[in-house]
Structure 1
Amino acid sequence: MKWKWAALFLGVSLALAACGGGDNAGNNTGSSGGGDTAASAEQIFKQNCASCHGQDLSGGAGPNLQKVGSKYSKDQIKDIIAKGRGIMPGRLIKGEEADKVAEWLAAKK
């Protein structure tokens, strides 16, 4: 029984260590222009969307997005991000990040 608790504790510790980290993006006060502090569209996608749409946009639980720009415009993609579609919940990403991802995906043709 003690082994089960030890294994559980170790697993939780590893999960928390992997999830935690030094995200200093919002704490960069020495930069002028602010371009370095904003995450790229691809990074935003990988953090919020890749678990369903795949790291390479090939799909999985969600549809393949490798050529989504051939089917939808930036505004249509932004609307899907905002409202969701099917089993995809809306507003997983918001504001400027949603704009960046929509523009990035619209270029996938």
Structure 2
Amino acid sequence: MKRNPIVPYILIMVMGLVLVFFLGIKGIGDAKEIAKEAEGGEEVAAEFNPEAASKTCIGCHGENLEGGGAAPSLHGTGLSKEEVADILTNGKGIMPAGLIPADNIDQMAEWVSNLK
């Protein structure tokens, strides 16, 4: 008995349509939650995670933040928290401003200034 070679493709198509349908329904629910937040609903502040934030820095400062091709080491910089915060806010040299969200600049500055 020969099998029809188009049947697997039809099954994949049906499963894809079902998936799109259910994700669309979920998106409607998420849109309502987003609208509630925009109206002044309960706002959840993201916690600062230095390891996650440092992933942005790895590209220039190297995997262990010990300096890369164009950027200096972040360990033992000798900079104060305020100086690091100023660099994160305004940029300096090839360091662009705005890589860290404004809400987390103070925490990131403290973390970088304490790296040994």
* TM category, shorter: 0.5 to 0.7
Aligned residues: 73
CA contact (8 A) 2:61 2:72 kept: yes
Matched, 1:77 2:84: yes
TM-score normalized by the length of structure 2 = 0.55
Per-residue deviation at 1:86?
Answer: 0.7
CA RMSD of aligned residues (A): 2.0
Secondary structure of 1:59's counterpart equals coil
CA distance in 1, matches of 2:91, 2:100: 11
Q: Which residue of 2 is the match for residue 99 of structure 1? A: 106
Higher-Rg member (1/2): 2
CA contact (8 A) 1:53 1:63 kept: yes
CA contact (8 A) 2:48 2:107 kept: no
CA distance in 1, matches of 2:63, 2:71: 12
Dislocated runs of 4+, deviation >4 Å: none
Structure 2 counterparts to residues 1-109 of structure 1, below 5 A: 37-46=46-55, 48-60=56-68, 61-68=70-77, 71-109=78-116
> For structure 1, which runs of at least 5 residues remain unmatched after alignment?
1-33
TM-score normalized by the length of structure 1 = 0.58
The one-letter code matched in structure 2 to 1:42 is: E
Secondary structure of 1:88's counterpart equals coil
CA distance in 2, matches of 1:104, 1:94: 15
CA distance in 1, matches of 2:91, 2:98: 7
Name the structure, 1 or 2, with higher relative contact order (CA <8 Å, separation 6+).
1
CA contact (8 A) 2:65 2:74 kept: yes
CA contact (8 A) 1:40 1:100 kept: no
- What percentage of aligned pairs have identical amino acids? 39
> For structure 2, which runs of at least 5 residues remain unmatched after alignment?
1-43
The one-letter code matched in structure 1 to 2:76 is: K
Q: Which residue of 2 is the match for residue 30 of structure 1? A: none
Q: Taking structure 1 as reference, are residues 55 and 97 closer, same or farther at Cα in structure 2, changes over 3 Å only?
A: farther
